[in-house]
Amino acid sequence: MQGTGGTPHEIDRGKVSHVLVTGGAGYIGTHVLCALAAVGRRCISVDNYSNSSPKAIERVLQIAPGSVEALEVDVRDEARLASLLASRDIDSVIHLAGLKAVGESVAFPKRYRDNNVGGIHLQLFGHRLRFECADAARRKLPNLAGKSVRGKQA
């Protein structure tokens, strides 16, 4: 793979591969998108904007024009996520989509677990198993969401 010197990463088939960044419009997500664009990576940002604003993505697009595609998608929307994964060459996923209010996470643990853990992991791992090509073996799925310190577990 190439990727230094501002050239996009390309896979053996000659297609440009992408990094899928969930929660791309959030504080950390926007910084990740800009950092990836700075080293020549093409990114697809998905966000439902429940904890962020499309204006954040507009600022990213000003900093890194042509490097980021932004889509309003909830990671729990299986049909839209399946369509996205099937239609794009995605070689990496950085999962930053997550609810983040500590007090609320203690008051509503099921809602937080559903969104922060269940949504993206079930969708991506389920679709990963269905990929027919060997490319699925190289897909990376780090989970960086939900790094807030939590209160007592109930």
Nearest Cα to Cα of residue 81 among 146, 37, 128: 128
Please name the residue ranges forming H helices in the chain.
Answer: 27-38, 54-63, 78-87, 102-107, 109-113, 120-130
Q: Where are the domains of the chain?
A: 4-138
CB 24 within 8 A of CB 58: no
CB 95 within 8 A of CB 116: no
Between residues 58 and 94, the one the model is more confident about: 58
**Amino acid sitting at position 151:** G
Q: What is the pLDDT of residue 39?
A: 94
Summarised one tens digit per residue, pLDDT across range 75-108 is 888 788 878 888 888 888 888 888 888 888 889 8
CATH architecture of 4-138: 3-Layer(aba) Sandwich (3.40)
